[in-house]
Amino acid sequence: MLELEFMRLALAAGAIVGVLAPAVGFFLVQRRQSLIGDGIGHVAFAGVAAGILLDVSPVLTALVAAVLGGVAIEALRSRGGTAGDQALALVFYTGIAAGVVLVSSAGALDVGLFQYLFGSILTVTRGDLLLIAILGAIGLATIGLLYRALAGAIVDEEGARVAGVPIERLNVTVAVLAAVTVALSMRVVGILLVAALMVLPVIAAGRVAWSMRSTLLLSMAIGLGSALAGLTISYYADLPPGGTIVLVAAGSFAVLAAARPLRAPA
């Protein structure tokens, strides 16, 4: 398998996304915004359609649309007086409707579109991998630097706000990180399954973790393992890679849910 360059590129892209997606998803799950990745994914679909229509890189237009969608959800939630699920629904349905209209205008309801909807990790090029690596590194570095602030805001948002912590800026940072992750993960698991890779490893890790930090690290390990195992299984069993990766992540939840909680190392 490793002698094939497309598999090496796929495994490398899968590894980066497998680590990044749960790392960002950790903050969404803890803020009870597990479905925000789905909402942003639907806006990214509109971005892909716009890219196809304008003959620009769909990944780039999806990235821009996803960032705008993520920031819009956060703005509606925090300033517009809209409940979190309603803000998500507004952006979610607007995104999918815009995508349908744009795809229809471009006459692009074909295989080219499906690779974004369902993922096409086996067609990742060196150029794609470079983009995924750079943006992935920026995303992980941001989380590394701001982990304490982002985690602290989860613990007690109101208390942090009273003490003058810039909660709005931290929330926007999470929304932008989620948007970047969605745009990067499109090629790996597809828009329809991108949120799953952000959320399932975190939920699985929560079954056995003993602290916030251990939840984050375990979820990244599960995401990485799911991506590599899913790709390997899909190669030998001739299955679609995106769906297989997500099924492995779902399987990890089933296994860990049956396990006893781990204890902190002494």
Cα dihedral sign for 203, 208, 210, 214?
negative
Q: 81, 158, 237, 258: which one contacts another protein (CB under 8 A)?
A: 158
Q: Which of 30, 181, 226, 244 forms a contact with another protein (CB under 8 A)?
A: 30
Q: Does 138 bind another protein (CB under 8 A)?
A: no
Q: Do the Cβ atoms of 17 and 134 come closer than 8 Å?
A: no
Of 68, 100, 165, 239, the one binding another protein by CB under 8 A: 165
Among 90, 117, 149, 221, the residue binding another protein under the rule CB under 8 A is 149
Place of tokens 């705008």: 68
Q: Enumerate the H helices of 56-193 as residue ranges.
A: 58-78, 84-106, 111-118, 126-155, 157-162, 167-189
Q: Single out the residue of 2, 111, 162, 259 in contact with another protein (rule: CB under 8 A).
A: 162
Q: Which is nearer to another protein, 101 or 155 (CB)?
A: 155
CB atoms within 10 A of CB 89: 15
DSSP for residue 80: S
- Distance, in Å, from the CA atom of 162 to the CA atom of 182, rounded to the nearest integer, reads 32
| Contact range with another protein by CB under 8 A, out of 69-77, 107-115, 208-216, 250-258 | 208-216
Q: Which of 11, 16, 29, 196 binds another protein (CB under 8 A)?
A: 29
**Which of these segments, 4-12, 25-33, 81-89, 128-136, binds another protein (CB under 8 A)?**
25-33
Compute the distance between CA of residue 45 and CA of residue 106 in angstroms, rounded to an integer: 13
Minimum distance of another protein from residue 221's CB (angstroms): 16
Q: How far is CA 219 from CA 16, 34, 169, 225, 260, in A?
A: 13, 14, 25, 10, 17
Q: Identify residue 104 by its one-letter amino acid code.
A: S
Taking CB under 8 A as the rule, does residue 259 contact another protein? Answer: no
Residues of this chain that bind another protein (CB under 8 A): 26, 29-32, 145-146, 148-149, 151-166, 170, 206, 209-213, 215, 264
